[in-house]
A = this chain, B = another copy of it.
Amino acid sequence: MNKQVRIYDTTLRDGTQGEGVSLSVDDKVKIARKLDELGVHYIEGGWPGSNPKDMNFFDKVKELDLQNSVITAFGSTRRSGIKASDDPNLNRLIQSGVKAAAIFGKTWDFHVTEALQTTLEENLQMIYDSILFLKEQGLEVIFDAEHFFDGYKNNEEYAIQAILKAQEAGADCITLCDTNGGSLPKEIEDIVKDVKEKVSTQVGIHCHNDGELAVANTLSAVRAGASHVQGTINGYGERCGNANLVSLLPNLQLKMGYSCIGSDPMQELVSISKFVHEIANQVPASNQPFVGNSAFAHKGGMHVSAVLKHPETYEHIKPEVLGNKRRVLVSELSGQSNLMFKAEEMGLTLDKNDPKVKEIIEKIKEMENLGYHYEAAEASFLLLVKKLLGEDITFFELDHFKILTDKESSDELTTEAVVKVKVNEEVVMTAAEGNGPVNALDHALRKALGEFYPVIHKMYLSDYKVRVLDEGEATASKVRVLIESSDGRNTWSTIGVSGNIIEASWHALVDSIRYHFMKQDEELEIIKKDTVKPPVGVNNH
């Protein structure tokens, strides 16, 4: 099959209309680079007429030398009653230096008279003039037919007239927008079919997710003949968001046989989705289709035993194709097959007839009952299992710590921690400042342990999350702390649960360090076998 669908990304414009989504110019540039690697055909960078930040982006993005994507600027048809060439908004599109522009215009009669407060005739003229002006300046022009489906349902004749005007003015693509996001797949399909009979210009589709149908509506439009698809990474956008490109790409390309992007970039889908979540400071939903951590995670014991024999029994697609991977969850619902799989994945040798297997499962259930959640903290899980198997993974022990936080009226707050730990019968005491109790504790502990284990300086905490478990009691409730650490190559997650946030953080912190030391030890063993000598800077303890 060789049906081509062109992908138009609007994460940087429509995506930032989502509640809680805010991107700096640098953020936008970083995301644009990733989108180019993914191979989308267009990147809508912003609305140069609406704010200086967007104009700044268009300047910066020129330095990027993108390989695959055309940078597009967004705007609207000219104001009523003036010439297109006098419209400041349209002129800013040209000043932005882009090769392609998307301008929206009204196609719903109600919006023309009520929101724009102009005549139906003048609106048609605004569409025509604006597109013609941009075409004369040599731009590729995409016409976004705002509220097209609501307009068509309300006044079919006028909606069609409006897009025919866009065609007459020379638009390169006419994108039908379900701006309010309330249409149903069958409606979209029927209306796009009708448009395809009346219009010879390329037809595009732009859906919103207010009915939880944006992906399905987009697929309906493509089946009916649309060949330009607009959406955002992770479905960010105003209200309930835009059509999610991260779900559209595998559906279109892997299931429906359309050609959108290459198959190599498809394997970067998980990584790009997470990258954008991170830059936009959004917490990824673990159940996000295709790319979520849970998307190929099996929990029920029955599913697990079947999927280990034949993945296709409970997987609709191969996770590797998108850069995702199969996971087997260990939880209170786990059976033996979950634990055995997990243990093997972590390189542990576990005999399923060993009575310790039962003991480990019991311990997990007990800890999960206390609020631990090992699905999210596999390093702590590994340490727990090793401890139950009798391995010594202690490395150091706490004697005591004290943390003092002090605030004088409007002055800055200071926090200091004093830590006393024992390492191989030696006792070391240190103090350090930090910009919070956990940070101070982390600093003091590093100072103390650094004397014995210089490898501690190779690791750092890369994320710190706090979750209140019993929300009814607020600051008095139990908290779960998740710490993510990294040594630059690998990351690992650890957990602590306690009524006291400091205690919970302490447990997660200690697990994180112990895991790092344990891994360094293992690597050291491997290196020793190969080279006899330990590498410089690593203490052999």
Give A contacts to B, CB under 8 Å: 16-20, 22, 110-111, 114-115, 179-186, 209-213, 215-217, 219-220, 223, 235, 238-241, 244, 247, 250-251, 255-256, 278, 281, 283, 285-290, 292-300, 303, 306, 309-310, 312-317, 329, 331-333, 368, 373, 375-376, 397-410, 412-413, 415, 434-439, 442, 460-466, 468-469, 471-472, 474-477, 479, 483-484, 498-503, 505-506
Question: In the assembly, what is the distance between CA of A281 and CA of B373, in Å?
Answer: 13
Task: List 13 A-B pairs, Cβ < 8 Å.
Answer: A16-B333, A18-B287, A20-B376, A22-B331, A111-B306, A114-B313, A185-B219, A210-B290, A211-B247, A211-B251, A238-B300, A397-B409, A415-B500
A108 closest partner in B (C-beta):
B313
- Residue from B397, B437, B479 within 8 A of A405 (CB atoms): B437
A216 closest partner in B (C-beta):
B216
Contact A184 B436 (CB under 8 A): no
Question: In the assembly, what is the distance between CA of A114 and CA of B309, in Å?
Answer: 8
Given known A182-B316, A209-B289, A287-B241, contact A400–B407 (CB-CB < 8 A): yes
**Cβ contacts under 8 Å, A410 to chain B:** 398
Contact A255 B211 (CB under 8 A): yes
Question: In the assembly, what is the distance between CA of A415 and CA of B437, in Å?
Answer: 12
Minimum Cβ distance to chain B for residue A457 (Å): 15
Copies of this chain, whole number: 2
**Cβ contacts under 8 Å, A297 to chain B:** 19, 239
- Residue from B250, B310, B501 within 8 A of A437 (CB atoms): B501
Contact A503 B20 (CB under 8 A): no
Interface majority SS (helix, strand, loop, mixed), chain A? mixed
Contact B474 A251 (CB under 8 A): no
Contact A185 B185 (CB under 8 A): yes
**Cβ contacts under 8 Å, A250 to chain B:** 211
- Residue from B185, B212, B464 within 8 A of A474 (CB atoms): B464
Contact B409 A402 (CB under 8 A): no
Contact B476 A292 (CB under 8 A): no
Contact A212 B247 (CB under 8 A): yes
